[in-house]
Structure 1
Amino acid sequence: MSTEALSIPASAAPAAPPRPTGRRVTLRTLRYAALLIGILFVLIPVYVLVVTSFKGQGDATPARAWALPTAWTTENWAQAWQTLAPSIGRTVALVVPSTIISSVLGCMNGFVMSRWRFPGADIVFTLILFGMFLPYQAVMIPLLELVLSTGIPNGIPSLILLHVVFGIPITTLIFRNYFETVPHELIEAATVDGAGMLRTFASVALPIAVPGFVVVMIWQFTSAWNDFLFAVFFSTPRNGPVTLALNNLANGALLTNYGVSMAGALLASLPTLVVYVLLSRYFIAGLMSGSVKG
């Protein structure tokens, strides 16, 4: 076979990728510069927070907010941990059951709203979503009277109930959108095999709802951990979560030692930061799994 027969015509050869023009390079540079500026604006307060947490009492002053510590110390962290440790334990006891219960209830509601149509389903779903747009401040006084009338103990038990109830709208919406992407054939196959609604939910829907659970549990964990409004009305510093204890710590250390309040703020925000760092990719994947109907 001749070399001419093996040669590839010039028209069939793959075309080289087009080189970016000067305008594209400029736009890309501006985009990265804007992102870098945004990152700096976010990290500058974090820098001050971290640096101040390692400063001594005389070194942590507004005049030296940007300067590095003259002598690095961890006494602020030890004092903050000693003060916040009981409230951190109570916060864990709050976020774990409230996150699990609201996620399970939202999963059940989302499955029913997406697969089992009944008279008035759209009205019920609209009323559930109405709770997402209801300002907490507008109902706080009647809500306080309602909780007190039920006899639920003040503190963590009341907060668990509130976070479960107010977490149902968003969890229902996320799970409903997720189950809309599940092929109808799976549900129909279970129905043909004689499975009822509860059996279909437990055997078919629940095992494939892991991405949805990742999203709602991260959302509920963060909301319950960072909540302050409910904590002020339904708990005290002795039986409340870490946000309430952190507020008291900051007020007490504001005029004496900024380092303690900064270390306490870092300790209080560390669990949510760890959750987002470890599960951020699963959070995004779970959101995307319910964004397009299959």
Structure 2
Amino acid sequence: MTAKSLLRGLLYAVLLLAALFFLAPLYVMLVTAFKDAEEIRSGNLLSLPSALNFDAWRAAWGSACTGTDCRGLQPFFMNSVVMVFPAVLISTLWGAVNGYVLSLWKFKGSDVLFGFMLFGVFMPFQVVLLPMSQVLGWLGISSSIGGLIFVHCLAGLAGTTLFFRNYYAAVPKELVNAARIDGAGFWRIFFRIIVPLSTPIVMVTLIWQFTNIWNDFLFGVAFSGADSKPVTVGLNNMVNTSSSVKSYNVDMAAALIAGLPTMLIYVLAGQYFVKGLTAGAVKG
């Protein structure tokens, strides 16, 4: 065996161990979610269930209690669905327009403005909780799904602008100039020329924003009301609801339900995310 083959085998072994390490919690969650309470108490943490039992999944979805509300995760899940799609689409479109302006329609002070916008990428969101709550109150959308959509659009704007601005910086300006000579305006150039070239970075931004918004807990717990809590807040309340017997199988099933959309996104569209990042890696 050559030294090169030995190193390759060692690398594969290390990668396999790392994969097993990171997948172990998911395995424990899955096998626990399919067990009943008696099997959890008497069995081993890593043992497979004797039979597939979906009672915990049904309870997690429709009957488990979060405080005094015993409707499971279903209402919280639907709140997240109603919130995430408009928030993702609006923040992505808004970031695309900003990136288009800051890269291809530069004006005096545009680079300074972009520099200030970058502060939003690195700023901890905890510092905006109080002023944002005041703004939501002034607008009359506090404790509502509309308020959460507004917050997530603003919070994601810096990141989406950064993605699109760096991507559009490599678009030949001759395309825009030629279109302007032919009489095309700002929006026609954007929709007819720029948008068709944007598929890779659009996929990156959609996946990025969907993951951030769906998994968000801070804004959900700070700005939601009794009827607008997202699934992450519902999951936290369910797990922390005290009862005489702790239902670990229900908690695990609820956690898997809450994380299922983001897992599906990366399984089905993960390759587009990587390709989009690669396409924009040397731009800007």
Q: CA deviation at 1:127?
A: 1.1
Query: In 2, distance between residues paired with 1:120 and 1:114?
Result: 12
Within the alignment, does 1:110 sit opposite 2:99 as a pair? yes
Partner residue in 2 for 1:55: 35
With over 3 angstroms needed to count, the CA separation of the structure-2 counterparts of 1:109 and 1:55, relative to structure 1, is same
Q: CA deviation at 1:202?
A: 2.1
Q: Select between 251-260 and 284-293 the one with higher mean Cα deviation.
A: 251-260
Partner residue in 2 for 1:15: none
Partner residue in 2 for 1:32: 12
Q: Counterpart amino acid of 1:186? A: L
- Contact 1:253–1:261 (Cα < 8 Å) also in 2: no
Query: In 2, distance between residues paired with 1:280 and 1:53?
Result: 26
Taking only aligned residues, the RMSD between alpha carbons, in angstroms, comes to 1.8
Query: In 2, distance between residues paired with 1:68 and 1:285?
Result: 37
Query: In 2, distance between residues paired with 1:237 and 1:55?
Result: 32
Q: CA deviation at 1:136?
A: 0.9
The one of 216, 233, 240 aligned to 1:251 = 240
The one of 254, 257, 263 aligned to 1:267 = 257
- Contact 1:181–1:289 (Cα < 8 Å) also in 2: no
Partner residue in 1 for 2:275: 285
- Contact 2:142–2:223 (Cα < 8 Å) also in 1: no
Q: How many residues align?
A: 274
Secondary structure of the corresponding residue to residue 60 of structure 1? helix
- Contact 2:160–2:205 (Cα < 8 Å) also in 1: yes
Q: CA deviation at 1:293?
A: 3.8
Q: Counterpart amino acid of 1:114? A: S
Secondary structure of the corresponding residue to residue 40 of structure 2? coil
Query: In 2, distance between residues paired with 1:44 and 1:62?
Result: 20
With over 3 angstroms needed to count, the CA separation of the structure-2 counterparts of 1:63 and 1:73, relative to structure 1, is closer
Q: Counterpart amino acid of 1:206? A: V
- Contact 1:253–1:260 (Cα < 8 Å) also in 2: no
Deviations 1:61-115 (A, max 9, x none): 4973222224431100001111111111111110000000000000000011111
Secondary structure of the corresponding residue to residue 68 of structure 1? coil
Deviations 1:222-273 (A, max 9, x none): 1110000001111145321111111111112784210001000111111111
Runs of 5+ unmatched residues, structure 1 = 1-20
Within the alignment, does 1:203 sit opposite 2:183 as a pair? no
The one of 193, 198, 203 aligned to 1:214 = 203
- Contact 2:142–2:224 (Cα < 8 Å) also in 1: no
Query: In 2, distance between residues paired with 1:209 and 1:33?
Result: 38
Partner residue in 2 for 1:162: 151
- Contact 1:60–1:257 (Cα < 8 Å) also in 2: no
Within-5 A mapping of 1:21-170: 22-61=2-41, 64-82=44-62, 83-170=72-159
Deviations 1:138-160 (A, max 9, x none): 22223222322321141311110
- Contact 2:103–2:169 (Cα < 8 Å) also in 1: yes
Q: Counterpart amino acid of 2:141? A: I
Q: Select between 33-42 and 59-68 the one with higher mean Cα deviation.
A: 59-68
Within the alignment, does 1:194 sit opposite 2:183 as a pair? yes
Q: Counterpart amino acid of 2:223? A: F
Partner residue in 2 for 1:225: 214
Query: In 1, distance between residues paired with 2:150 and 2:168?
Result: 26
Q: CA deviation at 1:177?
A: 1.4
- Contact 1:56–1:71 (Cα < 8 Å) also in 2: no
Partner residue in 1 for 2:69: none
Identical pairs, percent: 43
Partner residue in 2 for 1:18: none
Runs of 5+ unmatched residues, structure 2 = 63-71
